Structure 1
Amino acid sequence: MIPDPRARVAVMLAGLGVSIWINVVTLPADPGIVAPLALAVASLAWLALIAGTRGGHVAVVAAVMCAAGAVIAVTDTNGLIFTGVAASMAAVAFDPVAALVLSTVGPVAHCLAAIPHGPFPGRLLATAAVALAGLVAGASRREIDQRARRSTLVATERRRTELARAEAELAGERNRLGRELHDVLAHTLGALSIQLTVIDTLARNNAPREKLITQIELGHELVSTGLDEARQAVLALRGESAPLAAQLERLCEFHQAELEVDGGWHELEADTTLTLYRLVQEALTNAVRHAPGARVGARVGFGPRDVTVRVSNTRPAPGPDTPPTLRVSGGGFGLRGMRERVEQACGDLQAGPTPDGGWQVTARIPYRQANPGNRSDGSDR
């Protein structure tokens, strides 16, 4: 098959010219009217096929060309060129059964034209053989064309799949960046908001200057901690991370939370380390936000196949010494963001109240990527 349409038309025109020349040269000196007329009809039919006849007209034109070639064959066998070409084109354009029916027009027309000229059936065997050969050649070309179309469809579908995968990865990366932005800002700005509330309370109550300076210094420390967390987030996004032990110890110390470790510290991948750190960070921030003054604890357990994290707080004891609550929240994305992180790490998360009126967040993350486990539902705090 010639892919270039103009080259294909040029080749078919050249074939038509050669076929006409061969038949004109080999016709007898006195061929009568039937053979020249059939040659003209076959040539016009060939031109119609080259011109791009569509639909049911292709069947009519192919049948006419096949029959005209068979009629020429009564006088000279070179007319079978048109019969073979017509059978081949029919096999390309139609299914095998329809092409076979169209090709039988050639032998039938040959029989009808040969009856007045001599012993029956004349060159019927040659006509049938040429028509069959044209059918085989056309069927082979049809199969090649169909394979090429299937290959093109498969390649197109594969490309679409790759584009969809790339878009999904891009959306996932956007969600990941969004979670990092939320976690860094929500934790740092939330703690800073608490600190500013404390400073405002002290200033309104005419607290000593030393206490104000101390709280302002703590505010500066919060800003510095936030910048450090932003740097850690950038490192984690690049596949690097600081040791988890140091990060959690500093985080729990900042929130005055107890940290317990079961099984000894393990080296984890950067993504897993970041997930665990953000999980503890968000849970501690929620405890400060929703249960000010409550006792908070974090426990990390390294098992043989996975690591578990549990952050819990008791019911806050109301009283005048209870620290002020946070004026702004994280926008309702805290627990949902934690669940998304844990599910992305192929783990599961559970969160809910405890019997003593507190709150507990528990997560399990496998060391290696596996099929996601059971995922529990829950509402944001």
Structure 2
Amino acid sequence: MISVEGKPPGAPLSGASRWWVRLLPWGLAFVLCSALLPTTIKVLSADYGLNAGVASALAIPQAAPLLFAVVRPLRAWYVIFVADVAGALVLLTADFEARLLWPFPPMQIVGYIGLCVALGLRERGRTLILVWLATAAVNAGLMTVAPHGANGMTALLTILGGVTLLLTGALRERHEAQRRLAEQKTISEAERGRRTLLEERARIARELHDVVAHHMSVITVQADTAAYRLDRLTPEAREEFTSIAAAARESLGEMRRLLGVLRNEDAHGELAPQPGLSRIGQLVEATVRAGVPVEFTPCDADVPEAVGLSAYRIVQEALANVVRHAPGAPARVSVTAARDGSRLTVLVVNGPPPEPPTAPLESTGTGHGLVGMRERVRLADGTLDAGPLPDGGFRIAAQLPLTGKDLT
């Protein structure tokens, strides 16, 4: 017996969006069954000379299973195939004219072809081959006992059934290929969306580090040094400033951990926030208020937006590092454009701190600051030189080209 191998694939019309398209196979099956059932009874009784009761007993299993062949074609084939073979054997006992088809009358051929359409649209290739082999084998065996001799018409069901199974099977395979292609496209779009989300999270992580770390470091320094900068602070005020500094340090640590989760080292490209060269002076003023003397040489050159953003973030990160690692150390910030307009130079140099800090502002460091600088410089196709100085200070020098690349 031919068995169903796993879950059969869906028919091409089963997933249609319009309801009437999904109901179309049921309508065709109903029309075919309604037409074949009375016609088979009449032809078997009137033309082939069978008793009306016998004709009805054969016609019902030969035509009625077509109704559920839409969803269970292989089970319908079991019933119809056995009924057709039984009908051919019963016709051997009848006296009918040689002009009439045997072993399968025209109604049985039409119903069987309709069943083959359902099989081809629902079942796998191996099942279709087994169905055709069974049909051919039975047809060949019946031809040996043909009442009026074998002729070309006795193989009609085998030929038509094979062609129908082949064409509808090819149609189903095409439908399956298109469905898999659509699924793969959906998966690819989902992957692109996920990758875009990760890249966006990485950009947010870098911006989060650049912006929040700088300001939180300034808050920490201001809170820690308030007791030395402000006279006649009450014990309650000192305790409040100490609490603010502790909360700021804890926030810095939480932000570092969050950055480690969000950061994607393979992501490139940045968001396009507003800060540029004109905002660097505000960074310097905030750092001076935190107790770090800064000498600033501004630049009013007209540079691409991406270069201005990169210069702003580099200065921001460099000053934040001074506040964190060398509080109180004198610093010098210089932003200059080459006379030939080819590059922008960003220079941040700080000396050694007046005295080693009693406690670090952050207990652990992740090094994302310099990594972020290098990424920004690489985005602009520039160079970055960062390292300690012999006197204990630190120097950061970035060269950002202004020509030769679309930086906007």
Render the CA deviation track for 1:140-186: whole Å, top value 9, x for unaligned. Answer: 43034214422431343144235424533553464355335514522
Q: Distance in 2 between matches of 1:144 and 1:283?
A: 61
1:248 aligns with 2:268: no
Q: How far off its partner does 1:357 sit?
A: 2.7
Q: Distance in 1 between matches of 2:81 and 2:385?
A: 77
Query: What residue number does 1:62 align with?
Result: 77
1:313 to 330, 346, 350: 350
Q: How far off its partner does 1:362 sit?
A: 4.5
Moved more, 145-154 or 296-305: 296-305
1:106 to 116, 135, 138: 135
Residues 68 and 82 in structure 1, CA contact (< 8 A), matched pair in contact too: no
Q: How far off its partner does 1:19 sit?
A: 2.7
Q: Distance in 2 between matches of 1:82 and 1:35?
A: 16
1:281 aligns with 2:316: yes
Counterparts in 2 of 1:288 and 1:77: CA distance versus 1, 3 Å: closer
2:388 to 347, 353, 356: 353
Counterparts in 2 of 1:110 and 1:344: CA distance versus 1, 3 Å: farther
Q: Distance in 2 between matches of 1:41 and 1:15?
A: 14
Residues 190 and 328 in structure 1, CA contact (< 8 A), matched pair in contact too: no
2:50 to 32, 56, 72: 32
Residues 45 and 55 in structure 2, CA contact (< 8 A), matched pair in contact too: no
Q: How far off its partner does 1:80 sit?
A: 0.8
More helix by share: 1
Residues 41 and 55 in structure 2, CA contact (< 8 A), matched pair in contact too: no
Return the letter of the residue paired with 2:69. Answer: L
Q: Distance in 1 between matches of 2:55 and 2:138?
A: 13
Query: What residue number does 1:291 align with?
Result: 326
Query: What residue number does 1:168 align with?
Result: 198
Q: How far off its partner does 1:129 sit?
A: 2.7
Q: How far off its partner does 1:93 sit?
A: 3.3
Q: Distance in 2 between matches of 1:40 and 1:336?
A: 79
Q: How far off its partner does 1:275 sit?
A: 3.6
SS at structure 2 position matched to 1:311: strand
TM-score normalized by the length of structure 1:
0.65
SS at structure 2 position matched to 1:119: coil
Q: How far off its partner does 1:189 sit?
A: 1.8
Counterparts in 2 of 1:325 and 1:198: CA distance versus 1, 3 Å: farther
Counterparts in 2 of 1:63 and 1:25: CA distance versus 1, 3 Å: same
Q: How far off its partner does 1:130 sit?
A: 1.3
Counterparts of 1:1-381 in structure 2, within 5 Å, are 1-2=12-13, 3=16, 4=19, 5-27=22-44, 29=46, 30-32=48-50, 38-50=58-70, 52-53=71-72, 59=74, 61-62=76-77, 65-66=80-81, 68-69=83-84, 74=102, 76-114=105-143, 115-121=145-151, 123-165=153-195, 167-168=197-198, 171-172=201-202, 174-175=204-205, 178-179=208-209, 181-183=211-213, 185-186=215-216, 188-190=218-220, 192-193=222-223, 196-200=226-230, 203=232, 239-241=273-275, 244=277, 246-249=278-281, 251-252=283-284, 254=288, 255-259=292-296, 265-269=301-305, 271-292=306-327, 294-300=329-335, 307=344, 309-316=346-353, 322=354, 329=361, 335-337=367-369, 339-340=371-372, 342-343=374-375, 346-347=378-379, 351-363=386-398
Q: Distance in 2 between matches of 1:36 and 1:106?
A: 23
In structure 1, list runs of 5 or more residues that go unmatched. 205-235, 317-321, 371-381
Query: What residue number does 1:230 align with?
Result: none
Return the letter of the residue paired with 1:247. Answer: R
Counterparts in 2 of 1:289 and 1:181: CA distance versus 1, 3 Å: closer
SS at structure 2 position matched to 1:132: helix
Render the CA deviation track for 1:107-155: whole Å, top value 9, x for unaligned. Answer: 3323433424211145234223311331133124303421442243134
TM-score normalized by the length of structure 2:
0.62
SS at structure 2 position matched to 1:357: coil
Query: What residue number does 1:378 align with?
Result: none
Return the letter of the residue paired with 1:160. Answer: A
Residues 294 and 330 in structure 2, CA contact (< 8 A), matched pair in contact too: yes
Moved more, 109-118 or 358-367: 358-367
Counterparts in 2 of 1:62 and 1:346: CA distance versus 1, 3 Å: farther
Residues 349 and 393 in structure 2, CA contact (< 8 A), matched pair in contact too: yes
Q: Distance in 1 between matches of 2:159 and 2:185?
A: 39
Q: How far off its partner does 1:353 sit?
A: 2.7
Residues 87 and 103 in structure 1, CA contact (< 8 A), matched pair in contact too: no
Q: Distance in 2 between matches of 1:17 and 1:305?
A: 86
Residues 190 and 326 in structure 1, CA contact (< 8 A), matched pair in contact too: no
Counterparts in 2 of 1:85 and 1:345: CA distance versus 1, 3 Å: farther
Residues 296 and 311 in structure 1, CA contact (< 8 A), matched pair in contact too: yes
Compute the RMSD of aligned alpha carbons. Answer: 4.2
SS at structure 2 position matched to 1:361: strand
Return the letter of the residue paired with 1:164. Answer: R
Q: Distance in 2 between matches of 1:78 and 1:366?
A: 84
Query: What residue number does 2:98 align with?
Result: none
Instruction: Report how many aligned residue pairs link the two structures.
Output: 324
Residues 203 and 271 in structure 2, CA contact (< 8 A), matched pair in contact too: no
